[in-house]
C-alpha cells in the first residue's frame, strides 16, 4: 500500500475477498438483527463491487432465504403448494438439500429448535421428490443420530 492505495493486482484481489467476506458477515448480522430496511443498500453495494459480486450476492441470497424461513414459524404447506405446481424437480432437490444442510448446520451450532424445524421441513419436502419415503426415513435417522451426538446431555 502506498499513499493508502493498493497497487498490485494480487493485493487488489485480496482486498476484494476481504470486502466479500465482510459483506457476507454484514448480511448475516442484518438478517439476525432483523434490520431488513438496510439490506437493499447492502445488495446495491454488492452489485457494484466488481468481480466477486456474483459470489457475494449468492451468499447473501442464501442467508436471506434461510433468515426468512427461520424468522417466521415455518409452514410446510407453503412448500406443498409450491411443489404441487409445475415446480422443477431440480429445484425441489435443491430445496431438500438446502433444508437438510441448514438443519445440520443449526445442530452443529447448538440451535436445536431451528435444527428441528429444518429437518422437519426437509422431511416434508421429501414427499415431492423421487424416493422421498426412503429419504425421509434416512433424514429422520440422521437427525436422531446427530441429536444424540450434539443435543443436550
Query: In this model, does residue 42 exceed pLDDT 80?
Result: yes
Percentage of the chain lying above the pLDDT 70 cut? 78
The three grid cell numbers given for residue 93, joined into one nine-digit string: 432437490
Q: How far apart are CA 40 and CA 59, in angstroms?
A: 15
The number of CA neighbours under 13 Å toward the Cβ of 106 is 21
Nearest C-alpha neighbor of 115 from the set 64, 78, 152: 152
CA distances 151 to 3, 108, 116, 119, Å, are: 53, 9, 11, 14
- pTM (2 d.p.): 0.48
Q: How far apart are CA 19 and CA 111, in angstroms?
A: 28
Cell numbers at 31, concatenated = 438478517
Per-residue pLDDT tens digits for 52-80: 777 777 777 777 776 765 554 334 434 44
Q: What is the pLDDT of residues 73-118, one digit of tens each?
A: 334 434 443 444 456 788 788 888 988 998 888 888 888 888 888 8
Alpha-carbon gap, residue 82 to 62, rounded angstroms: 19
Amino acid at each position: 500500500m502506498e499513499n493508502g492505495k493498493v497497487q498490485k493486482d494480487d493485493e487488489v484481489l485480496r482486498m476484494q475477498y476481504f470486502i466479500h467476506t465482510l459483506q457476507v458477515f454484514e448480511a448475516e448480522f442484518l438478517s439476525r438483527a432483523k434490520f431488513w430496511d438496510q439490506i437493499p443498500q447492502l445488495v446495491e453495494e454488492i452489485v457494484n463491487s466488481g468481480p466477486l459480486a456474483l459470489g457475494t450476492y449468492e451468499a447473501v441470497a442464501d442467508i436471506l432465504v434461510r433468515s426468512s424461513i427461520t424468522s417466521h414459524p415455518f409452514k410446510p404447506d407453503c412448500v406443498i403448494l409450491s411443489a404441487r405446481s409445475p415446480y422443477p424437480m431440480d429445484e425441489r432437490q435443491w430445496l431438500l438439500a438446502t433444508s437438510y444442510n441448514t438443519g445440520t448446520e443449526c445442530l452443529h451450532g447448538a440451535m436445536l429448535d431451528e435444527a428441528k424445524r429444518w429437518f422437519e421441513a426437509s422431511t416434508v419436502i421429501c414427499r415431492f421428490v423421487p424416493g422421498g419415503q426412503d429419504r425421509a426415513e434416512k433424514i429422520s435417522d440422521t437427525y436422531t443420530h446427530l441429536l444424540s451426538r450434539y443435543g443436550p446431555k
